[in-house]
Structure 1
Amino acid sequence: MTQRYRMDLAYDGKRYKGWQRLGEDLKAETIQGKLETALSRILVEEIEIEGAGRTDAGVHALGQVATFSAEKVFDVKEVLKDLNFYLPEDMAVLKLEAVHPSFHARYSAVSKTYLYKILNTEIPDPFSHRYSLYLEESLDVAAMIRAAELFVGEHDFTAFTTAKSKKKSMVRSIERLEIVARPLVADQALNPATAHTLDKSVEIRITANGFLHNMARKITGTLIEIGLGRIPSEQAKVMLETGDRSLSSELAPAHGLYLERVVYGQPGKGRTKKGPTGKNSDTQDQD
């Protein structure tokens, strides 16, 4: 009888081609491939894992969750230690535990939160450019916050996904969309030598019951354009109402995005492959 396991993960996605395994030749270049190789080596059996979110190339994770089944019952503390020994330094398994047989990293999730980090500065910080979007032009954060309210609730997000998406339903529900700006001073800056030039850091945090392909980056890109005064906030409303992708902003660059948190309900009470609207739209996202 197989045992079900859950892993909580963090990783720097900069040098990877994303979460999803791309075949044997590129297995070492994906997060899923690295994890499956390490687990299979440690447990001496072929392991396949499922992730809560299929993060794109260059996207990071602070709270990714993965599940897998194994034929043998093992000491989770020992395997956790072995995993972090074999994995590269830009990946870490934070927790490993046995779970209910029905638990699934993707289908049991009731919500996911993505975080986008921006440094709104005059001079880029060489130590943070890998993990935040650098913008020299000042953002109107108040305008962004007002526009963010348009996205909250259940909407058809056709205009905020890419043509690759093959979902039957584009309807998703955003529970929260928060934008927080903080002034950067010398003791907060990653590089104190340039602290006097720094203006503010901006964090955009989106919590939803599911995400379409590139949905988080499309919404973020639109909010940035509004903050820069390049498009009016009313355009976001029109996009939501019409689904017109021709009005869509550019994707926000991948390196500023993090899968921050995945929330689960009780065993057997999570979401299913029928998705949030009862239609056939699974919960996997790829941002």
Structure 2
Amino acid sequence: MRGTNQSSVSEFLLLGLSRQPQQQQQLLFVLFLSMYLVTVLGNLLIVLAISTDSRLHTPMYFFLSNLSFMDVCFSSTTVPKMLTNHILGSHSISFSECLTQMYFICVLAVMDSFLLAVMAYDRFVAICHPLHYRTKVTHQLCALLVIGSWATANLNGLLHTLLTARLSFCADNVIPHFFCDMNPLLKLSCSDTQLNELMILTEGTLITVTPFVCILTSYVHISCAVLRVPSTRGRWKAFSTCGSHLAVVSLFYGTISAVYFNPSSSHSAEKDITATVMYTVVTPMLNPFIYSLRNKDLTGALRKVFVRKTFSV
């Protein structure tokens, strides 16, 4: 579709899986569908286990349940549309749907980073100031941190969405991606995108790096505190409680930085798609396994959920 201004563009075409041979498309469809179902089931089970087990009504599990809910939303923003387009044999997405999808991606990505930072602070207080944990990490503080994260994330998403909505798209409407991401959209625009790119590199960097710095600072203090523990077993136990969180942080921030904080000239469609699949599909799918496999309390709560459901059936 070609036009002369933004108003003439009524839809974009998401190539998604269509650039692959037919046989690979079918395999990728089954793979993405399986990963999406595992993501939804795994994360909802964690939310259910935490909400039904009174022993898990603590700040750490409160933040984890919020993270699991965000992961379900994150995957649901992109994967169902891609799977639906594949089934229908269509690649189109309307201009308004595209902006809406981009808005939720921005909001949920920032929420994920904020929740990871809040969880790092929770671990810092629990390990470095255990005697003051109940007075420092209160229910009121937990609620304020989550509400503040939501507010900031929504403002960030609104900023980038409005900046994209003002652009003109007058030539190509084909997006070489499986969802409406900012970088591919900016490449399609025939108007000046310097302000958009500046906001990504300044405001976007600030809102992403700030939680990362908080995480890094928390773990520096945690490491210093743990290294002062006299017994090797005690040090290993303290570090093991943070291992799951560190794995998720590394996976999330590694892929985010690879996509959004490299010069635009270094971007390629294949690299961007691989990185975005990691943080929008793979990471949300792995989070339930990472957090539950070595967590006896959460594993016990999940077992109780399965037993209760089995007996009720």
More strand by share: 1
Higher relative helix content: 2
Query: TM over 0.5, yes or no?
Result: no
Q: Which range, TM-score by smaller chain?
A: under 0.3
Q: TM-score, normalised by structure 1?
A: 0.25
| Structure number, greater radius of gyration | 2
If asked which structure has higher relative contact order (CA below 8 Å, sep 6+), I would say: 2
